Structure 1
Amino acid sequence: MPESIVEIKKELDDRIGEPVLIKAQAGRKRVATHHGVLSKTYPAIFVVHLNDGNGAPDRISYSYTDLLTHNISLAFGEEED
């Protein structure tokens, strides 16, 4: 991932509509994993529509700062493990 919020937003703007795997810190030694599609970007946040099917909310939003500080990680399409 790029190393500034402006670069992160620009990269995500280019990937709207792509499938994404999100790994987010959920507490001590816990990681939440979500599958979805990057749907929108805003000046301070981006929105992912989830297709987990586990009763979780339909969409989730994160700030670009979450990516910058490595609180979450994104893997798009063929980059998914």
Structure 2
Amino acid sequence: MGKNALSEIKLKLDGYIGQKIHLKANSGRRKTIERTGILEETYPSVFIVKLDEDQHSFKRVSYSYADILTESVELTVFQPDNEQVQVKYIKAT
């Protein structure tokens, strides 16, 4: 699992750069934060989301691939054909 799982998540997100996404992040104590924006860039350890300016007081947020692996962040990508794709790590058997 480990580093290979994180690199698989990064590779999957690389294909969605520039597309609109919806984030649902667990911030502890039964609190969740929902945000929408554009997947702006991926780096070796984190990915950057440019938030919709009219909905949020700050411009960008970053999350690690481990957040997706541990399911503390749920990420849904809006495809151009109005289809929604949820990004998850599914361990291959």
Alignment match, 1:79:
84
Cα deviation digits, residues 34-73 of structure 1 (max 9, x gap): 0000000000000000005244210000000000011100
| Secondary structure of residue in 2 paired with 1:4 | helix
Counterpart in the other structure of 1:19 = 20
Residues 1:28 and 2:33 are matched in the alignment? no
Task: List, as ranges, runs of 4+ consecutive aligned residues in structure 1 with deviation greater than 6 Å.
Answer: none
Measure the CA separation in 1 of the matches of 2:9 and 2:72: 14
Aligned to 2:9: 8
> What runs of 5+ residues in structure 2 fail to find an aligned partner?
86-93
Q: TM-score under structure 2 normalisation?
A: 0.77
Relative to structure 1, the CA distance from residue 73 to residue 55 in structure 2 (aligned partners, 3 Å threshold; closer, same or farther) is closer
Report the TM-score, using the length of structure 1 for normalisation. 0.88
Query: What CA distance in whole angstroms lies between the structure 1 residues aligned with 2:32 and 2:53?
Result: 15
Long gaps (5+) in structure 1: none
Report the RMSD for the aligned CA atoms in angstroms: 1.6
Aligned residue pairs, count: 78
Q: How does 1:45-64 map to 2 (within 5 A)?
A: 45-51=46-52, 53-64=54-65
Larger radius of gyration: 2
